């Protein structure tokens, strides 16, 4: 296969899987913001939204391990902009250095159907999740979760999914009040990743996959995006982007033909 030509994505199922009980359907808009402009955005958000009760002052670490095929099917589905696309990941909330086999992680399928983003997930101990995704040792689950477990198992087995790249960042989260209760906005700082040493606590070297002077703002709404939110983005001159952290990590490590290498991530802020 010519290395400059992306592999043709496999045709998606004619009918996307129905969301499981642990599902989130929403619209998402992403922006890039200069870190120097974040204090002004934070002040505006605090006037209209509440801090996420699970988000401590200064934010919290989020780490994700993405699974893909040998030919990077999920990567190319995003690049080609397929109307139905998905990806499989394992997500950890908290300090990755403290992750053990007993730590809680979420195995997630995040998919996009037309303009709607759906996320379905199952919380498991880290050791159980790795045994499932890496060795197809099916976890015990409740009856209502069996369909999701079957779907993930079939994807891993049929497509021969394996770990490809990680992403990580520090996230600040805000939630809407009253009429805007379905609104959520996040600010992700120091977005980095790596293409090896996939154990969350491995201490492997990361690279910045987004320049550290920039943060990613995500606006997520269940049904509608309030006017004040889009007006705020316009006033702060936020740049709308179609960005995937997973794709940026793939590209930062030369895993796809269009790739460029990212700058090393340093411990200093």
Kindly report, residue by residue over 184-201, the tens digit of the pLDDT: 999 999 999 999 999 999
Predicted local distance difference test score (pLDDT) of residue 260: 42
Residue 113 gets the label, from left (phi > 0), alpha (psi -120 to 50) or beta, of beta
Residue 135: count other Cβ atoms within 10 Å of its Cβ: 8
Give me the percent of the chain exceeding a pLDDT of 90.
Answer: 67
Q: What are the residue boundaries of the structural domains of the chain, listed by start?
A: 24-197+206-252
Residue 153 gets the label, from left (phi > 0), alpha (psi -120 to 50) or beta, of alpha
Question: In sequence order, what are the residues at sequence separation of 6 or more whose Cβ sits closer than 8 angstroms to the Cβ of residue 115?
Answer: 27
Please name which of 28, 104, 94 lies closest in space to residue 61, comparing C-alpha atoms. Answer: 94
CATH of domain 24-197+206-252: 3.20.100.30
> What pTM did the predictor assign?
0.85
Predicted local distance difference test score (pLDDT) of residue 13: 40
DSSP 192-206: EEESS--STTS----
Predicted local distance difference test score (pLDDT) of residue 251: 93
Report how far residue 215's alpha carbon sits from residue 268's, in angstroms, rounded to the nearest whole number. 16
Computed over its alpha carbons, how large is the radius of gyration of the chain?
18
């Amino acid at each position: 296969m010519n290395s400059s030509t992306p592999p043709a994505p496999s045709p998606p199922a004619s009918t996307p899987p129905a969301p499981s009980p642990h599902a989130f359907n929403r619209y998402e808009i992403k922006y890039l913001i200069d870190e120097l402009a974040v204090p002004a955005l934070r002040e505006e958000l605090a006037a209209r939204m509440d801090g996420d009760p699970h988000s401590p002052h200064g934010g919290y670490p989020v780490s994700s391990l993405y699974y893909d095929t040998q030919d990077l099917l999920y990567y190319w589905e995003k690049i080609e902009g397929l109307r139905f696309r998905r990806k499989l990941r394992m997500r950890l909330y908290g300090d990755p250095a403290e992750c053990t086999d007993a730590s809680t992680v979420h195995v997630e399928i995040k998919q996009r159907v037309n303009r709607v983003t759906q996320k379905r997930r199952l919380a498991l101990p880290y050791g159980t999740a790795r045994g499932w995704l890496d060795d197809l040792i099916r976890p015990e689950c409740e009856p209502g979760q069996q369909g999701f477990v079957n779907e993930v198992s079939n994807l891993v087995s049929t497509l021969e999914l394996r770990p490809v790249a990680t992403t990580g960042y520090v996230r600040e989260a805000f939630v809407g009040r009253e009429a805007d209760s379905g609104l959520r906005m996040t600010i992700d700082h120091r977005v980095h990743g790596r293409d090896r040493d996939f154990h969350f606590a491995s201490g492997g070297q990361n690279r910045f996959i987004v320049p550290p002077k920039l943060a990613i703002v995500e606006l997520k709404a269940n049904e509608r995006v309030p006017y004040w939110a889009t007006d705020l983005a316009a006033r702060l001159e936020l740049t709308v982007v179609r960005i995937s952290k997973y794709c940026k990590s793939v590209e930062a490590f030369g895993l796809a033909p269009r790739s460029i290498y990212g700058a090393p991530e340093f411990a200093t802020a």
